[in-house]
């Protein structure tokens, strides 16, 4: 069984991600096989004071990279765009970044 820290890999810190912090929207890189319910439960377990309103997911296929004759593929990534409820507290990790 996966722990919440296995499902949530890391936060995605980009310009688009920073713009959503004020509206309580956060972006996380998550396990490729995790579904929306698992992501929601994992976030509520890791960050105790939050309530998740919605989770939107996005899968990115890995790009094909070549080095001479050989070619390989970068790993695929799954991102979760998480929106918190209005009465929820913001995530403390992101507060100093706005």
What is the pLDDT, as a whole number, of residue 98? 64
Would you call 66 helix, strand, or coil by DSSP? Answer: strand
Domain assignment present for 92: no
Domain assignment present for 94: no
Q: Which residues of the chain carry a pLDDT beneath 50?
A: none
Find the CATH number of the domain harbouring 42.
3.30.70.330
What does the pLDDT look like over 22-46, one tens digit per residue? 899 999 999 999 999 999 999 999 9
Q: Is the pTM of this model over 0.85?
A: yes
Split into its structural domains, the chain has a count of: 1
Domain assignment present for 97: no
Q: Do residues 84 and 52 touch, judged by C-beta distance below 8 A?
A: yes
Strand 64-67 with 70-73, pairing: antiparallel
């Amino acid at each position: 069984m996966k722990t919440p820290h296995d499902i949530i890999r890391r936060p995605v810190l980009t310009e688009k991600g920073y713009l959503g912090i004020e509206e309580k929207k956060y972006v996380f890189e998550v396990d490729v096989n995790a579904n929306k319910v698992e992501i929601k439960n994992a976030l509520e377990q890791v960050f105790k004071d939050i309530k998740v309103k919605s989770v939107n997911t996005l899968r990115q296929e890995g790009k094909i990279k070549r080095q001479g004759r050989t070619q390989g593929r970068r790993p695929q990534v799954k991102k979760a765009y998480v929106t918190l409820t209005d009465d929820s507290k913001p995530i403390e990790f992101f507060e100093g970044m706005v």
